Chain A
Amino acid sequence: MDLSEKLSILADAAKYDVACTSSGVDRPGQQGTLGSAAAAGICHSFTPDGRCVSLLKVLMTNRCVYDCKYCGNRRSAETKRAAFTPRELADLTIQFYRRNYIEGLFLSSGVLRSPDYTCEQLIQTLELLREEYRFRGYIHVKVIPGADSLLVQRLGQLADRMSINIEMPSHQSLRLLAPDKSKTDILGPMSAIRDGIRQGGADLVRYRHAPQFAPAGQSTQMIVGATPDTDLQILNLTQALYKKYSLKRVFFSAYVPVVADSLLPAPDPKPPLLREHRLYQADWLLRFYQFDASEILDEANPQFNPLLDPKCNWALHHMELFPVEVTRAPYETLLRIPGIGVRSAQRIRAARRVGSLTFDDLGRMGAVLKRARYFITCGGKVMPGLKITPEGAYQALVGGRDPRWEDRGEQTSLYDPPALTREDVMKCLTGQL
C-alpha cells in the first residue's frame, strides 16, 4: 500500500477526534533544531466543515482489538486497515512541517496487539522526531487506556499535550457502548498525567533543566448525542474534570453515525451541531467568564435553550441584577453582561481608569450595544431613546437570531423568520420550548 493511501485511511479514521489545537506552550526556536511553538496556537488551514487544521492528525494504525460500538475502527467493522511505521510517520511530519502545512503532530492509535505494544510504537515515532530530527514543534499524543505507567511517563516527556478520551459522559453509557473500557481505565491514567504535570512543574522550580512533562497540559473529549445523557450531566462532568483533574480543555464532538448498532440512535445525517455549540458556549463560561455549572443549568432545566445562548439565558433569568453601571461595576460583573465579552470587558476596565465613558465609546470598544444596552447604564443613564422592557430585551437576544443554527447543521431559508410573540417569550423562559 502506498503512502498516500495509508495517509488517507489513517487521517479519515482519526478525523472524529476534535482536539486539534496547538496551544498551551511557548517554545522559541533553537539553533540546530527545527521548529517552535506558540502559546496561542496557530491554525494552518480550515476544512470545508469549518474546522481548523493545526496538527497532522492521524492514527498510527486503525487496526484495533477493541469493539467499541460507536467507533468506526472497532474490531468487527468492515473497513480498510493500514498502519504507519514510525519512520514513515516521522518523515511525513517533518516534510509537512518544513512546508508550513502543520504546527506539529497529533498522534493517536487503535490498539494493536496490546496497549503496551501500541504505546511503544507511539514512543518510537516521537523519539525519532524529537531526537533524530531535532523537532521542536508541537506534539499531541493520545494515551492508550490500559498502557503501563512507565510507558505513559515516557510519552509525557516527549509530547506537549496528552489526552485520554472519556468518550461517554456517564458510566452506564460507557459500559453499554465500550464494553472493553472501564471508568478506571480512563480516570486512572488521567490522574497519573495530572500528577506527572504537577511533579514536572515542582521539579522545574528546583532544577532549571528538569525534564518537562506534557508542558501544554492534558485534554479530553466526549461524544455528544450518542447516548441519552443530559446537557446538565455533561456540563457537571466537564466542570469536575477542570477542577479535579486540572484539564486544559474538554472537547465535545457531535455524534456522527459511522456504524449502525441497535444500541445507538438511528443513523441520521444531521449531527447535533447546535447542542455541541451550546456546550462549547457553556464551556467558555466556565473557563473565562467565572460561571459555575449550577448557574448555567439545573435539575429543573437540564437541557440548553435552543434559542438563547447560555449567558443570555442566565441574564434574562436574573433581570433583577441589571442594569449594571459600566463605569463602576467590578470586572466579574462586566463579564456577565450579554454583548460584552472578555476583550471588551478588559478594555472597559482599562479605559474607565483614564477617562469618562460614553455609549459611543463602548460601541467603538467592541461591546455589542444591540444586546448590551438592555443591561447597562453608562454614567448613570440608560442608552438615549431606549425604554428597557423585558420584551425588548428578549427580542434583542432572540429575535435577530440567525436561523442557521436551527439544529439543521446548515443554512435554511433566510426569509420568513417566525414572528415572536409574548407567549413564545414566556414559554421560552419557562423552559417549555
Chain B
Amino acid sequence: MPDRPAVIYQYDGTLEGLLTCVFVIYQLRQPPMDIQTDDAPQEWLYDMYSVPTDPGQAARVYDALGTKVCAEAQEWVRTAFLYGEGGREMAIYRFIRMALKRGAAAVRMFGHPDITPIYDRRRAVLGEAHLLMGFVRFTDLGGLLAAEIRPKHFVLPLLEEHFTGRYLEEQFLIHDQTHGAALAYRPHEARIFFVRDLRLPRAGEGDGRFEALWQGYFRATTIAARANPLCQRTHCPKRYWSCMTEHLGGTLISEGASPRPLTDGADIDKPSPVE
C-alpha cells in the first residue's frame, strides 16, 4: 500500500456499507484518509470514492473477524458502530486492520493506539445504554407504556433485550428522538423501526397521579444537609433530565431550601457554570 493515504471513502451509513468499505480498501490497496457517510460535506483536497454497499463483501469481512480473530472482535465492531459522536469509522477500520494482523490478541491490547479508539467508543455506547436502563421513564397511555429518550449514541438495540425481558407481558414503545427511531414491543415480539415524526404525549399530560407521587417521593428522599448537586450531575448528567419525570414540571429542590422552577427544557443543554 502507498504510505500516504489520499482517498476519502464514502458509504451509506450502515454497518454493511462500512464493512464493504473495508473490503474495498483491502482490494484497492488504497489506505483511507477518512471514511465518511455519503451525506457528509464534500472535500476537495482528496479523492472521493463512494462505495456501493455489497452484502457479500461485508459478510466476508465480518466472518473473517469471527474466524481469524474471535467473536468478541465482532461484538466490538457491532457495538462501536452505534457510537454517535464521530470517528467511529476510522476507529473500526484501524481495529479490523490490527485484528486481522494480530488475531485474538487484538482485543487484549489495551492502550494500543489502534485499539484504544474503538475500545473507548464501545465503552461509551455500553455506558450510555446502562445509564438509560435506569433513566428511561414510561408514561402509561391506557395500557401502552411510552417513553422518550435523547441519547448521544444509538442505544436502542442494546436496550431491547433489557426492557423486553423486564416487561414481558406489557406493551411498550421507546422513542429515540436523536436518531428518529423507536423500539416497539408487544408480548412477545419486538421491533426497531425508523420514524420521521412521532409525537408522544409528554410526560405529565396523562398518567399524572403516579408522576406526582414519584416527584413527591424524589423530594422526600433527599437529605438537605448533604446537598451535593455536582455529584448529582456527575452521575446523572443534565442532558438526560429533559426526559425524566422527577425533573419535569413541578419544582426541583436543589438545596432543600428555595424551590426553583425548572424552565421547560430551556436551560438543559447549556453547560452549567460549575462543570
Chain A residues at the B interface, C-beta cutoff of 8 Å: 3-4, 7-9, 11-12, 14-16, 28-36, 38, 40, 42-54, 56-57, 92, 95-96, 98-101, 103, 254, 256, 269-271, 273, 347-348, 350-351, 353-355, 357, 360-365, 404, 409-411
B142 at the interface (CB under 8 A from A): no
Selected from B188, B217, B223, B256, the residue in CB contact (under 8 A) with A16 is B223
Smallest beta-carbon distance A402→chain B, Å: 10
Instruction: Pick from B112, B164, B219 the residue with the most CB of A within 10 Å.
Output: B112
- With the chains together, A256 CA to B223 CA distance in Å? 9
Q: How near does chain B come to A91, taking the closest CB pair, in angstroms?
A: 10
Q: How far is the CA of A15 from the CA of B112 in the complex (A)?
A: 46
Chain A residues within an 8 Å CB radius of B236: 43, 45-46
Question: Do A33 and B168 have beta carbons less than 8 Å apart?
Answer: yes
Q: Which A residues are CB-close (under 8 A) to B224?
A: 49
User: Quick one: which of A32, A46, A354 contacts B108, CB cutoff 8 A?
Assistant: A354
CA distance A31 to B247 in the complex (A): 33
- Nearest residue (CB) in B for A404 is B230
Q: Are A101 and B214 in contact (CB under 8 A)?
A: yes
Does chain A have a CB within 8 A of B227? yes
CB of B124 within 8 Å of the partner chain? no
B233-248 residues at the A interface, CB under 8 angstroms: 234-236, 244-246
- Return 11 A-B CB contacts under 8 Å, by A number: A4-B212, A7-B220, A15-B220, A42-B130, A48-B255, A49-B222, A49-B227, A50-B234, A53-B218, A269-B225, A362-B111
Contact, CB under 8 Å: A101 / B111: no
Residue pair A99, B222 in contact (C-beta under 8 Å): no
Q: Are B217 and A11 in contact (CB under 8 A)?
A: yes
Q: Are A364 and B113 in contact (CB under 8 A)?
A: yes
CA distance A89 to B166 in the complex (A): 20
Taken together as a complex, chains A and B put the C-alpha atoms of A360 and B112 apart, in Å, by: 9
Q: Indicate whether B138 reaches chain A with its CB closer than 8 angstroms.
A: yes
A410 and B227 within 8 A (CB): yes
A98–B221 touching, CB < 8 Å: no
> Would you call B228 an interface residue if the criterion is a C-beta within 8 Å of the partner chain's C-beta atoms?
yes
A354, B105: Cβ atoms closer than 8 Å: yes
For the complex of A and B, 6 pairs with smallest distance between CB atoms: A50-B231, A361-B111, A29-B165, A50-B228, A354-B105, A347-B110
B46 at the interface (CB under 8 A from A): no
Q: Are B108 and A353 in contact (CB under 8 A)?
A: yes
Interface membership of B139, Cβ < 8 A: yes
In the assembled complex, which residues on chain A have CB atoms less than 8 Å from the CB atom of B216? 4, 7-8
* Chain B, residue nearest A95 (CB): B210
Is B232 in the interface zone, CB < 8 Å from A? yes
The reply to whether A49 and B228 contact each other, CB–CB distance below 8 Å, is yes
CB distance from A274 to the nearest CB of B (A): 12
On whether the beta carbons of A49 and B133 are closer than 8 Å, the reply is no
Beta-carbon contacts of B135-169 to A below 8 Å, as 1s and 0s?
11111100001010000000000000010111111
Contact indicator B245/A101 (Cβ below 8 Å): yes
Chain B residues with Cβ below 8 Å from A254 are 226
Question: Inside 8 A of B102's CB, which chain A residues have their CB?
Answer: 354
Query: Which residue of chain B is the closest to A33 with respect to CB atoms?
Result: B168
Interfacial residues of chain B within 12-51, with CB under 8 A of chain A in the complex: none
A36 to B109, CA, bound (A): 35
* Chain B positions 196 through 211: 1 when the CB is less than 8 Å from some CB of chain A, otherwise 0: 0000000000010010
Check B254 for interface membership: any CB of A closer than 8 A.
yes
Complex alpha-carbon distance, A28 and B162, angstroms? 9
Query: Quick check: A98 and B140 within 8 Å, CB to CB?
Result: yes
CA distance A270 to B130 in the complex (A): 33
Contact at B167–A34, with CB atoms within 8 Å? yes
Measured CB to CB, the nearest residue on chain B to A92 is: B213
> Smallest CB–CB gap between B157 and chain A, Å?
17
B269 in contact (CB, < 8 A): no
A271–B113 CB distance below 8 A: no
- Chain A residue nearest to B102 (CB atoms) is A354
Asked if B253 lies at the interface with its beta carbon under 8 angstroms from chain A, I say yes
Which of chain B's residues have a CB closer than 8 A to the CB of A45? Answer: 134-135, 218, 236, 244, 246
Distance of A328 from chain B, by nearest CB (Å):
17
Residues of B within 8 Å of A363, CB to CB, are 111
B177 contacts the other chain (Cβ, under 8 Å)?
no
Which residues of B are found within 8 Å of A95, using beta-carbon distances?
Answer: 210
A368 CB, min distance to chain B CBs, angstroms: 14
C-alpha spacing A103/B147, complex, angstroms? 17
Q: Are A12 and B228 in contact (CB under 8 A)?
A: no
Given contacts A4-B212, A53-B221, contact A364 B169 (CB under 8 A): no
Interface centre among A29, A45, A96 (most CB of B within 10 A): A45
A42 and B221 in contact (CB under 8 A), knowing A36-B166, A100-B147?
Answer: no
Q: Are A47 and B230 in contact (CB under 8 A)?
A: no
The interface residues of chain A lying within 8 Å CB-to-CB of B255 are 48
Contacts of A33 in B (CB 8 A): 168-169
Other-chain contact of B235, A3, A7, A46, A271 (Cβ < 8 Å): A46
Is B229 positioned at the interface, with any CB of A under 8 Å from its CB? Answer: yes
Which A residues touch B110, using CB under 8 A?
Answer: 347-348, 350-351, 361, 364-365
Contact indicator A49/B232 (Cβ below 8 Å): yes
Is A355 touching B109 in the complex (CB atoms < 8 A)? yes
B116 at the interface (CB under 8 A from A): yes
B220 contacts A30, C-beta separation under 8 Å: no
In the assembled complex, the Cα of A35 lies from the Cα of B162 at a distance in Å of 10
Asked whether A100 lies within 8 Å of B137 as measured between CB atoms, the reply is yes
How many whole Å from A355's CB to the nearest CB in chain B? 6
- What are the residues of chain B within 8 A of A256 when measuring CB–CB? 223, 225-226
Q: Which residues of B contact A36 (CB under 8 A)?
A: 162, 165-166
Chain A neighbourhood of B75, CB < 8 A: none
Contact A42 B145 (CB under 8 A): no
Residues of B within 8 A of A4 (CB): 212-213, 216
